[in-house]
């Protein structure tokens, strides 16, 4: 393991005003999203969609790294170029999702444990040889009546730490993703409490497993009320609660925090990220960036509809979201950009 290279990669992933684009949906998740848009659920459709994403002009201006799925990292553009080469040529660092999904946790009804540690060392070696330089593992914490349990939090935190240590051994920067889900009728305060408890457990296990904090990225949820909770706090309240929690539990040695979007609307995800940077950027020990999937991809997916004639429009929409989030990293995003910038992108074509 070359610690300095890990640190350089982690810093590059959150440098300047760029962020990560997650396009690592597993085949079942990708197919579910395709089905909603009437797109065929085939390997070729998934390939064509991912080619659309990675060939979006100027994507590298806003995106530092992109997270791929096992099927995707092996795929090629229509002209035969390996995706991973096209990504590197676009100035984007390739990453790979290495967990194999959240399964029911034995003895804990309604709770999940993320699997994928068996054989992980060999898979990481292969991904590194293919050109990947970072990896992702997502743990999901469901909020409900008397859950999450301590057993669920501990099991997931330990798995994240073991994954992170294996990644660093293989030369890959671990993106550590513990997610408190938005589904439910819990308050922002409950999300705050659980997010802090979860992150405390995660960092305790990362320490025990001897993970180099300078060579990792944290990918947490924002602190938000549940989707069904009556009071939906304003953008500044969410920014204050989220940054307040992270300051209490995320060590300063971590180079960056890159949020997941978790099912927020595109505009809200950008506005909340923006508020965090606008209000706190100069006081924070780590970069506050994004690692969105839905909040970057969704409008593009809806425009594409699986049709070649829609590729350019979909790429404009994707670039637009990436650009909005880049502005949010600087604390310069404004709702008006949603209209004016979309138009710019079309005019520039």
Which residues are part of the catalytic machinery? 177, 219
Comparison of 210 and 290: residue with beta carbon closer to ligand 13P: 290
Comparison of 31 and 344: residue with beta carbon closer to ligand 13P: 31
> Do residues 136 and 182 touch, judged by C-beta distance below 8 A?
no
CB of residue 183 to ligand 13P, shortest distance in Å: 12
Among 295, 314, 318, 324, binds ligand 13P (CB under 6 A): 295
Spell out, one character per residue from 41 to 80, where the chain touches ligand 13P: x when CB under 6 A holds, - when not.
Answer: ----------------------------------------
Comparison of 245 and 270: residue with beta carbon closer to ligand 13P: 270
Among 123, 294, 326, 342, binds ligand 13P (CB under 6 A): 294
Nearest to 237 by CA among 223, 254, 221, 257: 223
Q: How far apart are CA 242 and CA 201, in angstroms?
A: 17
**Cα 211-217-223 angle, rounded to 5 deg:** 115
Among 180, 239, 293, 300, binds ligand 13P (CB under 6 A): 293
Read off the DSSP letter of residue 349. -
Comparison of 139 and 313: residue with beta carbon closer to ligand 13P: 139
Residues numbered 11-30 forming contacts with ligand 13P, rule: CB under 6 A? 22
Comparison of 22 and 164: residue with beta carbon closer to ligand 13P: 22
Q: Which window, 115-123, 228-236, 275-283, 293-301, contacts ligand 13P (CB under 6 A)?
A: 293-301
Comparison of 138 and 342: residue with beta carbon closer to ligand 13P: 138
Q: How far apart are CA 273 and CA 9, in angstroms?
A: 22
Characterize 242-275 residue by residue with b for buried, 16 or more Cβ atoms within 10 angstroms of its Cβ, and e for exposed. bbebbeebbeeebbbbbbbbbebebebbbbbbbb
Spell out, one character per residue from 215 to 254, where the chain touches ligand 13P: x when CB under 6 A holds, - when not.
Answer: ----------------------------------------
Structure tokens at 268: 């809200």
**Cα 178-85-294 angle, rounded to 5 deg:** 35
292 interacts with ligand 13P by CB under 6 A: yes
CB of residue 295 to ligand 13P, shortest distance in Å: 5
> Do residues 267 and 285 touch, judged by C-beta distance below 8 A?
no
> Do residues 169 and 212 touch, judged by C-beta distance below 8 A?
no
Non-local (6+) Cβ contacts of 218 within 8 A are 175, 176, 199, 250, 254, 256, 257, 258, 286
CB of residue 3 to ligand 13P, shortest distance in Å: 26
> Do residues 181 and 142 touch, judged by C-beta distance below 8 A?
yes
Q: Which window, 109-117, 141-149, 240-248, 290-298, contacts ligand 13P (CB under 6 A)?
A: 290-298
Asked if the peptide bond before residue 231 counts as cis, ω within 30 degrees of 0, the response is no
Residues numbered 133-152 forming contacts with ligand 13P, rule: CB under 6 A? 138
318 interacts with ligand 13P by CB under 6 A: no
DSSP states along 7-55: HHHHHHHTSTT-EEEE----HHHHHHHHHHTT---SHHHHHHHHHHHHT
Comparison of 21 and 243: residue with beta carbon closer to ligand 13P: 21
Residues numbered 250-269 forming contacts with ligand 13P, rule: CB under 6 A? 260-262
177 interacts with ligand 13P by CB under 6 A: yes
**Cα 272-158-226 angle, rounded to 5 deg:** 30
83 interacts with ligand 13P by CB under 6 A: no
Q: Which window, 71-79, 152-160, 242-250, 289-297, contacts ligand 13P (CB under 6 A)?
A: 289-297
Binding site for ligand 13P (CB under 6 A): 22, 138, 177, 260-262, 292-295
């Amino acid at each position: 393991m070359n610690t300095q290279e890990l640190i350089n990669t982690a810093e590059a992933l959150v440098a300047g005003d760029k962020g990560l684009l997650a396009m690592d949906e597993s085949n079942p998740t990708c197919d579910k999203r395709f089905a909603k848009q009437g797109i065929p659920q085939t390997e070729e459709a998934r390939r064509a969609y991912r080619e659309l994403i990675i060939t979006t002009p100027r994507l590298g201006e806003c995106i530092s790294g992109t997270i791929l799925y096992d099927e995707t990292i092996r795929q090629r553009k229509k002209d035969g170029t390996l995706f991973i080469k096209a990504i590197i040529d676009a100035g984007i660092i390739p990453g790979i999702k290495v967990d194999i999904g959240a399964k029911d946790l034995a003895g804990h009804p309604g709770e999940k444990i993320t699997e994928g540690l068996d054989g992980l060392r060999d898979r990481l070696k292969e991904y590194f040889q293919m050109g990947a330089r970072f990896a992702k593992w997502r743990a999901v914490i469901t909020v409900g009546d008397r859950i999450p349990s301590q057993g669920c939090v501990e099991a997931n935190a330990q798995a994240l730490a073991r994954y992170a240590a294996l990644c660093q051994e293989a030369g890959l920067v671990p993106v550590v993703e513990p997610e408190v889900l938005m589904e439910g009728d819990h308050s922002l305060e409950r999300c705050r409490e659980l997010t802090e408890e979860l992150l405390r457990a995660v960092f305790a296990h990362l320490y025990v497993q001897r993970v180099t904090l300078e060579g990792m990225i944290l990918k947490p949820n924002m602190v938000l009320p549940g989707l069904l909770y009556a009071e939906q706090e304003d953008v500044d309240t969410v920014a204050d609660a989220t940054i307040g929690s992270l300051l209490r539990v995320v060590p300063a040695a971590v180079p960056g925090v890159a949020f997941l979007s978790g099912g927020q609307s595109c505009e809200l995800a950008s506005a909340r990220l923006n508020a965090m940077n606008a209000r706190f950027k100069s006081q924070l020990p780590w970069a506050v960036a994004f690692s969105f999937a839905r909040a970057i991809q969704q409008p593009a997916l809806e425009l594409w509809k699986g049709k070649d004639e829609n590729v350019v429009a979909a790429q404009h929409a994707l670039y637009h979201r990436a650009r909005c989030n880049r502005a949010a990293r600087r604390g310069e995003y404004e709702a008006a950009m949603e209209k004016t910038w979309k138009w710019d992108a079309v005019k520039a074509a």
